[in-house]
Amino acid sequence: MSENTTTTTTAPTENLRERALKLDATDPLAGRRALFALDDGVYLDGNSLGALPVHVPARVQDVLTRQWGELRIRSWDESGWWTAPERIGDRIAPLVGAAAGQIVVGDSTSVNVFKAVVAAVRIAGEGRDEILVDATTFPTDGYIASAAARLTGHRIVPVAPADVLAALGPRTAAVLLNHVDYRSGRLHDLPGLTAAVHAAGAVAVWDLCHSAGALPVGLDEHRVDLAVGCTYKYLNGGPGSPAYLYVAERHQAVFDSPLPGWNSHADPFGMTAGYAPADGSVRGRVGTPDIVSMLTLEAALDVWDGVSVDAVRAKSLALTDFFLECVEAYVPAGRVVSVTPAAHAERGSQVALRCAEAEPVMRRLIERGVVGDLRRPDVLRFGFTPLYVGFADAERAARILADVLAEVPAGDTVG
């Protein structure tokens, strides 16, 4: 979508408020909000850190006092600590369209990107020396991919997702792409780009940090090779909760991790000098998992029981549509520009508004209880988590945004 300056409309404020209440009253996911610890404000930063599910503290207390405090070392077996990375991976799998046995939870997104990119070029084989990387990617993906390229003797080729098709060729070994752009919220064509990568004989690696838990991904359906993602955004796993690695079943026998830790050994307690990789997704493990964070995530995933990702996607699109409509109705013409695509097929679950006065505006929004985030220098970013954000939240956020813009003079970038 080209950037379009919002224009005021004649939609009465009261009509939008009434519509919001009616939409919330008929929302099949509305009851999920009670599962989260939220205050009276509007939390629109779940695309950075998801809200706390209310039952999680008690579950973590059990991990600390009973499993660790009483059972101690016995919990590796009796409390299922040892199998947690694969067990929790199987719980995430349906949320990203994967069958069981292909996702392992552990380490950070950055570490998993490193594993995936190195493994991808090894799968691609000799004669290919280029790694295509999304030029608009979240910085760490680019940093890690560059390190992987140095390690494997490959060359990094930064390319915009729209230009991937033209950049693919016989030298392409792997392609690392973001499913949803973290800054603009643009949803990229995972099925089409994956097919094109395969047609070129290369391996597709996808970063799902801004899509998992917000929209259908279809890893198995679209034959994605490798994927990584975090769990502290739409999956609500908590700050720094462990990330995950997807290795398609067809690649697991040849998945060659650059970090062959003892946890991924075929006989981890044999303590042998030579490394022999385990079968299946266990090959993605490295060292001893962070059990407290791991089990916090496992507890948090309970909020997804009985939830359809398709229903989440439908509400996400309705919410972002409604928020954009409210912004258009309330905000003075010319003060903000949407950089989020209008087309549903190209939109994730956030709205990014370009605003020259973004820094003081976001600061004042947060002071008034509307929590989004700032992407310097001039982007106001609002994440819509359908499990706990409602239509009244969207209307209220847009109305307060208009009030704040009325107070912040155009051109005021200091505030």
| Enzyme catalytic residues | 138, 207, 232-233, 381
Task: Identify the DSSP state of 103.
Answer: E
- What are the strands, taking DSSP E only, across 147-208? 155-159, 172-178, 203-207
44 CB contacts (<8 Å, ≥6 apart)? 370, 371, 372, 382, 383, 384, 389, 393, 397
Site of tokens 């519509």: 19
For residue 145 the two structure tokens come to: 């991919």
Q: Tell me the one-letter amino acid at 78.
A: E
Helices 13-25 and 391-407: crossing angle in degrees, nearest 10, is 150
- Contact between 277 and 283 under an 8 Å Cβ cutoff? The reply is yes
Q: Tell me the one-letter amino acid at 113.
A: V
User: Closest Cα to residue 250, out of 85, 96, 102, 117?
Assistant: 102
Burial code (b: 16+ CB inside 10 Å, e: under 16) for 218-233 equals bbbebebbbbbbbbbb
For residue 217 the two structure tokens come to: 């991904």
What count of Cα atoms within 13 Å lies in the side-chain half-sphere of residue 308? 6
Task: Identify the DSSP state of 63.
Answer: I
- Contact between 346 and 320 under an 8 Å Cβ cutoff? The reply is no
